[in-house]
Structure 1
């Protein structure tokens, strides 16, 4: 069974290239866990649900929490490192960004279900930012989201490692080098 040290989070604001990077890592054979938010949005749109960031932010956060807890639990059964497209502290950052209180059970989940201490964070990158059917944030909100993720992960004791603003291939090499460094440190 894997330990939290094997759970690698890639976080940041929307539109900073996280999901593209995680998808490329998955295509290269890395075990990956998809972003909860995009999955929740897709499910809610398909079913006419209200758990959407533009309809009911608190419900959206609860649905992300359930999905992220399930992903964390499933990852413990895998072998080798698992790369997460966002983690539980992202929900805390999202709630704070939304001006909503962080419920005690969300705080408890972020404290209890841990990841590797070194979290990879994609900085806001206005040159590549694009809105789409699931990403409706303005560039300003995307940048503020990044800032809230920095604060949330820092508050939960994680060390942030900034991903370079470079090609997907070079970012992938950066992540793989970071993971290789973990192996050397063990």
Structure 2
């Protein structure tokens, strides 16, 4: 079996982090979402929402972090690595806010391809906002649409993870991977 670098995508508060945590608890190699780290550092530096105040800078930092995650995932001894959000997410979010970005963003998405992409759909019943997640549920739905569009444009076939218990979501993933 070739190494599988699998990315989980979806709008804010669709259950990605909970799913990553469950996979980690089962012993899988998982990489967390890097944006929270960037957001928290900016907040510590006095910038409440770096993405809203300096979207290009935020996106450049995010792209760099996700490229580093991808490269590290390639070096893992495990045959399967899960990543919470991927490189095309950066472009989807920039498109969502209507900002332009350098060609290097597109190039990075083409050079660092994931094995599979699982998408977690918007789920209003579990939606929660917090200090790092400023989007409303309605905005989360729009972001989700941008994510699907962007990943489709890069040629990915998205596999939708059903809204279900975390155990059933993990089982669904593993069944899809072993098909």
TM-score tier by shorter-chain length is over 0.9
TM-score by length of 2: 0.94
> In the alignment, is the contact (CA less than 8 A) between 1:40 and 1:51 conserved in 2?
no
- Structure 2: gaps of 5 or more residues: none
RMSD across aligned positions (CA):
1.6
Structure 2 Cα separation of the partners of residues 147 and 135 of structure 1: 17
Residues 8-157 of structure 1 mapped to structure 2, 5 A cutoff: 8-49=6-47, 52-79=50-77, 80-116=79-115, 118-157=116-155
Q: Deviations over 1:92-147 (max 9, x none)?
A: 1011001011320000000111101x310001111111101110101111000100
The change in CA–CA distance for 1:50 and 1:128 in structure 2 (over 3 A counts) is: closer
TM-score by length of 1: 0.90
Query: Aligned-pair distance for 1:46?
Result: 2.4
> In the alignment, is the contact (CA less than 8 A) between 2:42 and 2:49 conserved in 1?
yes
Residue aligned with 1:173, SS: helix
Query: Aligned-pair distance for 1:48?
Result: 3.1
- Structure 1: gaps of 5 or more residues: 182-186
Query: Aligned-pair distance for 1:58?
Result: 1.3
Residue aligned with 1:9, SS: strand
Query: How many residues matched?
Result: 178
Matched, 1:163 2:161: yes
> In the alignment, is the contact (CA less than 8 A) between 1:50 and 1:56 conserved in 2?
no
